[in-house]
A and B are shown apart, each in its own frame.
Chain A
Amino acid sequence: MKHEMDTVLTRREVLVRMASAIVVPGALAGFAAIKQLNTPVLNAVSNFNDEVQGTLFSPDRLAQSYESSEISKPFRYNGILPQAYVPKLDPNTWRLALSGQISHNAPLSLQTLRALPQHAQITRLICIEGWSAIGKWSGPLLQDVLMLIGADINAKYVSFECADGYFTSIDVSSALHSQTILALDFLDRPLTPEFGAPARLRIPTKLGFKNAKNIVALSITNEFPSGYWEKQGYNWFAGL
């Protein structure tokens, strides 16, 4: 009796064999397809994440502020170029070029930006790689700059171009956030080239790579401007 039981397949054993007959070739086909499908699928997920983050973003929620004693020393350098190759712009001749949906497009000088109310913040810069560092930045609110140039705040994007060819963009809601500044100073002194002189974006509600340095041009637009890393697959919204 027992011997007979061993040779006859039970219903469950038949099911297991049927399942493995489907699962094994299926997994192999899936593996082959993964390379073909991963770009469009992962792009779709990234776009979906942009939507979710746009919804989660609250203009009233502030990034945590820290004490002076908590500032990271030394503050880590990071950029697309080695530190020695960082462009050194002359602060006297430097102008911020403006374009897009704005009413005044005369380039802005450093004096004009310094004449606006200055806001200081001690916040945490979080890199997409995972590390973070606390620093102190000050400069005019980006919303004051946008107001000054008569930007259309119903447009979708604010884009930034940098002296080293780097570029990035943010959504207008994040640009109007009360902690988003066009930083001119770092640790109470004018920015040095490696930390973004003469002007950089400091936006503590977004990942580090959105905090463009050595900015030379700003634009307000409805056309998706993407960015240097974003084009290589980083998530665009990159909100914190």
Chain B
Amino acid sequence: MQFFFVEAALRWWFRLAHWGMAISTIGLILTGWDIYNAAPFFAFNVLEYFALDLGLTEALRWHFFLAWALIVTLSVLLFAKLSGLGGAGSLVPVNPRSVFKELYLVVQLRLDHKDAGYLHVQRLAYLLAYGAFVLTALSGFLIWKPVQFQFLDFAFNDYETARRVHFWGMSFLSLFFVVHLTMALVVPRSLTAMALGALPERKEQS
């Protein structure tokens, strides 16, 4: 009984952290667009039309606030994951054949997600998103501190490369969010799971 309360509390922490992380990541992406617009490195800049237009100073101030918020929420999330109380299902293994089969079913609008746990295509998407997340965060640290954190040069070569990795990581994460939210809207039941944690198994009704 005692353990049940600890578990319930951790579950709520996990949800709060998930939302803190989602809000800070989305905020980081949006303020990042404003920062990018101060000195774009591509001739064709779509972000001009989507940015919040906070101005560089405000955007940077928010970006750093959100970066700290992300560090805090991510630590809670990792703690919950590691203690085994947060996760909904395993992300490994990813079977390429299953991924293709599921993608084919998605295209035909015939994919039925009944089983507990993640589909292989979901596992792949989450793993790629985690990868992009780590790359974006690490390149962000190098952009912030190219001198003090120059040990990160081994991964990103130099400041200018880190800026580009940060940009492409952001682009992948933006795409992931769009798909993530679209799928959640397509399967409304998962919205409750997102907001409140994994749903208990539904009993078959006769």
Of B36, B41, B61, B64, most buried by chain A (CB within 10 Å of CB) is B61
- A-side residues, CB < 8 A to B, are 1-2, 5, 12, 15-16, 19, 38, 41-42, 45-46, 48-49, 53, 56-58, 61-64, 124, 126-132, 204-205, 229, 232-235, 239-240
Residues of B within 8 A of A130 (CB): 35-36, 38-39, 41, 163
Question: What are 11 A-B pairs with beta-carbon distances under 8 A?
Answer: A38-B61, A57-B148, A61-B148, A61-B150, A126-B146, A130-B36, A130-B39, A130-B163, A233-B58, A233-B60, A240-B147
**CB-CB nearest in chain A for B36:** A130
Q: Is B108 an interface residue (CB 8 A)?
A: no
- B-side residues, CB < 8 A to A, are 35-36, 38-39, 41, 56-58, 60-62, 64-65, 68, 145-148, 150, 153, 158-160, 163, 192, 195-196, 199, 205
Please state if B68 and A45 are interface contacts (CB–CB under 8 Å).
Answer: yes
Chain B nearest CB, measured from A222 CB (Å):
25
Please state if A235 and B195 are interface contacts (CB–CB under 8 Å).
Answer: no
Chain B nearest CB, measured from A219 CB (Å):
25
Please state if A15 and B159 are interface contacts (CB–CB under 8 Å).
Answer: no
Residues of A within 8 A of B192 (CB): 12, 16
Please state if A16 and B195 are interface contacts (CB–CB under 8 Å).
Answer: yes
Q: How far is the CA of A91 from the CA of B60 in the complex (A)?
A: 38
Please state if B148 and A58 are interface contacts (CB–CB under 8 Å).
Answer: yes
Q: Which of B41, B56, B145 contacts A56 (CB 8 A)?
A: B145
Chain A nearest CB, measured from B16 CB (Å):
12
> Beyond the given A2-B205, A16-B192, A64-B153, could you list 18 further A-B residue pairs with CB under 8 A, ordered by the A residue number?
A12-B196, A16-B195, A16-B196, A38-B61, A49-B64, A56-B145, A56-B148, A58-B148, A64-B146, A126-B146, A129-B39, A130-B35, A131-B39, A232-B57, A233-B61, A235-B61, A240-B145, A240-B148
**CB-CB nearest in chain A for B19:** A23
**CB-CB nearest in chain B for A44:** B65
Q: A12-B196, A16-B192, A239-B145 are in contact. Are A5 and B205 (CB under 8 A)?
A: yes
Q: How far is the CA of A240 from the CA of B150 in the complex (A)?
A: 10
Residues of A within 8 A of B199 (CB): 12
**CB-CB nearest in chain B for A177:** B147
Q: How far is the CA of A16 from the CA of B160 in the complex (A)?
A: 46
Q: How far is the CA of A82 from the CA of B152 in the complex (A)?
A: 37
Top 8 closest A-B pairs, CB basis?
A: A129-B38, A130-B39, A233-B57, A129-B39, A131-B39, A42-B61, A240-B147, A45-B65
Q: How far is the CA of A48 from the CA of B153 in the complex (A)?
A: 26
**CB-CB nearest in chain A for B55:** A233
Q: A41-B65, A129-B39 are in contact. Are A19 and B196 (CB under 8 A)?
A: yes
**CB-CB nearest in chain B for A131:** B39
Chain B nearest CB, measured from A43 CB (Å):
8
